[in-house]
Amino acid sequence: MKVNSIIIPTLFSTLFIFACSTRPSYVLSESKMEKVLYDMYIAEGEISTEFTTFATDSTRKKELLNSVLKKHKITEAILDTSLAWYTGRLEKYFKITSKVSKRFTDASDKLRHQQEETTKSEANADHMILPVEKERFLLRYGDWPNNLYPFHADTVLNRYGGIYEIGFNILGVSSSLRPVVTLCVQCLDTTFVKQDTISRNGLFVSSLTIYQNKQAKKLYGTIYFPKINPESIVFIQNFSLSHSSRQRIEKISDKSIGVVIGN
């Protein structure tokens, strides 16, 4: 009896510790939870920034949050259950949130570095932000006829040479939804074209350089979605088109294609 009284409590204690530390199959892994929370915080941040818009459009708010769930192929119930499990184990929860915080810090540092580089470039170049129709938009299944979202600068350029750039933040990219961005600069006798495939969420930037002796007339392009379905949702913010003049341009970017359209 004495031996049993020692073994039995020890056995139950071991089982209890094992049960507390073992993650159930219906709970998201730490790495998956980190990715979901990161995207969810980005969506929540957008809702807070555009509070007036989302406060009067509950459907848009729901669609934005659901786009995160659909991207990671989970349900709201799975997310809630996983949150409850991790918050009951603070060490694991703080480990995840620390990684999420680091990702935001890294992204912030990257953006600050890009802004510093832009500032340096502007010191040696005439930099101009071109007007566009929308800087922020949510694309749903019925919003892109022929799988295309067209864009253009709302101005006639009449500028010689330089670097033309497109940039925006995107949420909704997945292994099955990888948009293709085509950027075009139309000159009097030539149209320069560059294409890029977006393979991840976050900041996207692409640029196209043309000769100083070429007079640009129009800047336009498309965002093409090869595969879409009724559940496809993409959110784009901080959409911008810009032009920077350079005193000397050696050659066209290797990734650009000049297409002759006339004499």
pLDDT digits (tens, 9 = 90+) for 67-103: 889 989 999 999 999 989 998 898 888 899 888 888 8
> What are the angstrom distances between the C-alpha of 108 and each of 16, 95, 221?
42, 20, 28
Helices (H), 56-165: 58-71, 76-87, 90-123
Residue spans of beta strands (DSSP E) within 126-255: 127-130, 137-139, 148-152, 159-171, 180-187, 190-197, 202-224, 234-244
Using an 8 Å Cβ cutoff, are 216 and 160 in contact? yes
pTM: 0.53
Structure tokens at 213: 């002796």
Question: What per-residue confidence (pLDDT) applies to 223?
Answer: 93
Among 178, 255, 184, which residue's Cα sits nearest to residue 224? 178
pLDDT band at 245 (very low <50, low <70, confident <90, very high): confident
pLDDT band at 1 (very low <50, low <70, confident <90, very high): very low
Rounded Cα–Cα distance for residues 55 and 47 (Å):
8
> What are the angstrom distances between the C-alpha of 226 and each of 133, 135, 183, 237, 249?
24, 23, 17, 21, 34
Question: What per-residue confidence (pLDDT) applies to 123?
Answer: 53
For residue 258, is pLDDT > 90? no
Q: What is the CA radius of gyration of the chain?
A: 25
Q: Which domains does the chain have, with CATH numbers?
A: 2-107 (no CATH), 126-260 (2.60.120)
- Number of residues that make up the chain: 263
Report CA dihedral (101, 102, 107, 112) to the nearest 10 degrees. 100
Using an 8 Å Cβ cutoff, are 20 and 91 in contact? no
> What are the angstrom distances between the C-alpha of 38 and each of 72, 108, 201?
12, 13, 11
pLDDT band at 33 (very low <50, low <70, confident <90, very high): very high
- Of residues 229 and 240, more confidently modeled: 240
Question: What per-residue confidence (pLDDT) applies to 21?
Answer: 61
Using an 8 Å Cβ cutoff, are 234 and 177 in contact? yes
For 131-173, the pLDDT digits (tens) are 998 888 777 776 667 788 899 999 888 888 899 999 999 888 8
Question: What per-residue confidence (pLDDT) applies to 31?
Answer: 92
Residue indicated by tokens 């007036």: 52
For 169-225, the pLDDT digits (tens) are 988 888 878 899 999 999 888 899 999 999 888 899 999 998 888 889 999 999 998
Rounded Cα–Cα distance for residues 263 and 189 (Å):
6
Mean pLDDT over all residues of the chain?
A: 78
Question: What per-residue confidence (pLDDT) applies to 49?
Answer: 64
For 247-256, the pLDDT digits (tens) are 443 444 444 4
